Amino acid sequence: MSSALDRLKNLTNKISSYERTRKDNLILLEKLYNELEINQKVEEFSELFSYKAINLSGASLLSDSLGEVKKGKYLQILAIGYDRDAVVKSKNISLGYFGKAQNVDVDLKNRVVEFIIRFRFEKSFMTLEHYHIMLESFKSDE
Give the pLDDT confidence of 45-84 residue by residue, as tens digits.
999 999 999 999 999 999 999 999 998 999 999 999 887 7
Query: Rounded to two decimals, what is the model's pTM?
Result: 0.84
CB 110 within 8 A of CB 69: no
With respect to residue 142, please indicate whether it lies within any of the assigned structural domains: no
How confident is the model over 115-133, as pLDDT tens digits?
999 999 999 998 888 888 8
Distance between CA atoms of residues 58 and 46, nearest Å: 26
The residue that leads in pLDDT, 87 or 122, is 122
Beta bridge partners of 92: 80
Which residue range is the domain that position 35 belongs to? 3-137
Q: Structurally, how many domains does the chain consist of?
A: 1
Q: What is the mean pLDDT of the chain?
A: 90
Burial class (CB in 10 A: 0-12, 13-18, 19+), 15: exposed
CB 89 within 8 A of CB 82: yes
Which pLDDT belongs to residue 141? 57
With respect to residue 65, please indicate whether it lies within any of the assigned structural domains: yes
With respect to residue 89, please indicate whether it lies within any of the assigned structural domains: yes
Distance between CA atoms of residues 58 and 70, nearest Å: 5
